[in-house]
Structure 1
Amino acid sequence: MTAADGWSLFFWGLLASLALMTLVWAFSVPRRDASLVDRFWGLGFIWVALLWWWLAGRPLNAWVMLVPVILWGVRLSAHITWRNWGHGEDARYTEMRAGRSDPAFARRSLVTIFWLQASLLAVIALPILASVLGDSLFWPLVWLGWAVWLFGFVYESVADWQLAWFKRDAGNRGQVMDRGLWRFSRHPNYFGEVVVWLGFGLIGLAFGGWWALPGVALMVFLILRVSGVALLDRRLAETRPGYREYARQTNALIPGPVRR
């Protein structure tokens, strides 16, 4: 396919992402729960990926990317939905809502939460776009990408399961999770997520999609500096006794030995 075809597909994906998140926003307003956007983050990638695949003529080779994307997206959305069920709006969005009327926040959230995330999704998904545009496939990179993706997928899943199990015990309320994978880094789930996207980047490269790597870089930046590690560290340092000491002893992202 030509560069013009690629740009056309990208903009169709962007429009599809915006449409999905606008629909989610419409459901979020009467519920007063902007965190619904998080539940549809993973599913949004699946929606855009399948649209691109269909518009590109349903290339068979693209399934080497689509299968892991679908598995990742379904697991992530299911996990977030299960984790947040019955807990109301996430504190991040409650803080943004404070001091604003419901109509004012609804208008603001459409642009600064839902459309922003929809736009980020389309850019981050560039490795997926590479898989539907590529005419050739370098299988050694595919195998490497699958291996990296699988490691990250399992690591993230185990970390999420361990944290959920920890929170089930009422005696752990307000305590710092420092067991299992959480003993070796403060955010093993985010580490797994970064590795997952490195795997997607490698698969995209297997299709010749070097131009898709900024999508991976954007995802890693968001996890490290915006909505992931940095944000959660600040909040937990303020709300969890002992978290500062835990942070002093434990790597933020990459697993490593406990520092004494």
Structure 2
Amino acid sequence: MSTWGSFLTVSLVSLAGLAVLQAVTFAVGHRIGRYNVVDVAWGAGFVFVAAVAAALGSGDPVRRVLLLVLVAVWGLRLTWHMHLASAGKGEDPRYTDLLNRSGGASVGTVVRKIFVTQGAAQWFVSLPIQVSAVAGPTRGLGTVALIAGVMLWVLGFAFEAVGDRQLRRFKADPANRGRIMDRGLWAWTRHPNYFGDATVWWGLWLIAASAWPGALTVASPAIMTYFLVYATGARLLERSMSQRPGYPEYQQRTSYFLPRPPRRAHDGADHHVRPRATG
């Protein structure tokens, strides 16, 4: 099978699997009466694509396995985190607002606005993994890109996982109820989880770019970063959180997205359960 024939196989199987995953997730959400379960399926969908790429790809096997391991570690942790964050809770206000602005929560609107959008985003963002699955071995300067990609992934994963853990532990303390979380990584950036997410995907892209034509998929991490920063990620949360007492002051002293030292010492407090980047 040709390189592009192999890519077509990986891509179509990935697309079909993501469609099934979103259909099952919709059925679960429809049954329990809330559609934020789509966030739980976000990380799991990427793990599925990476598994397909590793199993059906014709490219360098070492890089296929490496990407599978990195995506699985990131995606399964995120899936479990989102499950814990949403279990027993009501609907995410983002989805309520989205459906209200779209004319109501009819089945067609829910499927189109939430689940089709989420599945399409998963497929597009995962293009570096799909393309890398059929690319040849990493050689020469590509090795530098691969190593840099792994290091960037480690940085992003650490920010995301540690930030989520710090927030979860802070919210579990009744003494912090109603306060603004601004400790640990949250003192360096108002969105360490989103920064970590974006960094993870730039790292995965660098790994894919270590062998041609992986570099051509640069639009995937760029789009992911756009969603995390401007579309349905940080900016959407800022809009609602800015109404909370103490949050405007937190905004003044803490970086919006890219980490930097806080402007001054400050007390800690509560924050928010993050939504996913798309949907």
> After superposition, what is the alpha-carbon deviation per residue over 1:199-245, rounded to whole angstroms, capped at 9, x for unaligned?
1011011122011111111110110111211001111012x101111
Alignment partner, residue 120 of structure 1 = 121
Q: In the alignment, residue 65 of structure 2 is paired with which amino acid?
A: W
In structure 2, the partner of 1:77 is 79
CA distance in 2, matches of 1:225, 1:97: 20
Alignment pair present for 1:168 and 2:172: yes
Structure 1 counterpart SS, 2:133? helix
TM-aligned CA deviation for residue 20 of structure 1:
1.0
**How does 1:207-246 map onto structure 2 within 5 Å?**
207-208=211-212, 209-238=214-243, 240-246=244-250
- In structure 2, the CA distance between the partners of 1:170 and 1:206, relative to structure 1 (3 Å rule), is same
Aligned 8 A contact 1:22 1:115 in 2? no
Q: Distance in 1 between matches of 2:232 and 2:46?
A: 18
Kindly indicate whether residue 23 of structure 2 is the aligned counterpart of residue 51 of structure 1.
Answer: no
Q: State the Cα deviation string for residues 143-184 of structure 1 (Å, max 9, x = none).
A: 211111011111211111111111011222221111111111
Change (3 A) 1:180 1:118: same
Please give the TM-score of this superposition, normalised by the length of structure 2.
0.86
Secondary structure of 1:176's counterpart equals coil
Partner amino acid, structure 2, of 1:170: P
> 1:188–1:253: 8 Å Cα contact kept in structure 2?
yes
CA 1:196 to 1:25, structure 2 compared with 1: closer, same or farther past 3 Å?
A: same
Letter in 1 for 2:220: G
Aligned length: 258
**Could you tell me how far apart the structure 2 residues matched to 1:101 and 1:149 are?**
40
Compute the RMSD of aligned alpha carbons. 2.0
- 1:203 is matched with 207
1:219 maps to amino acid: M
Q: Distance in 2 between matches of 1:6 and 1:87?
A: 40
1:130/1:207 contact within 8 Å kept: no
- What are the Cα deviations for residues 58-89 of structure 1, in whole angstroms up to 9, with x where unaligned? 85221121110010000100111111111122
Matched, 1:96 2:103: no
Deviation at 1:92, TM superposition (A): 1.3
Of stretches 25-34 and 93-102 in structure 1, the one that deviates more from structure 2 is: 93-102
2:43 and 2:76 in contact (8 A); partners too: yes
Q: Residue in 1 aligned with 2:267?
A: none
Contact 2:47 2:71 in 1 (8 A): yes
Q: Which one of 134, 138, 143 corresponds to residue 139 of structure 1?
A: 143
How far apart in 2 are the matches of 1:37 and 1:112?
Answer: 12
Q: 1:99 to 1:5 in 2, by over 3 A?
A: closer
More helix by share: 1
Give the structure 1 partner of residue 276 of structure 2.
Answer: none
What stretches of structure 1 of length at least 5 have no aligned partner? none
2:206 partner SS: helix
CA distance in 1, matches of 2:122, 2:56: 18
Give runs of ≥4 in structure 1 deviating > 4 Å: 97-102
Q: Give structure 2 stretches of 5+ with no counterpart.
A: 265-279
Amino acid at match of 1:235: S
CA distance in 2, matches of 1:204, 1:38: 25
Q: Which whole-Å CA distance do the structure 2 matches of 1:100 and 1:171 have between them?
A: 39
Q: Percent identical across equivalent pairs?
A: 34
- Return the match for 1:188 from 185, 192, 196: 192
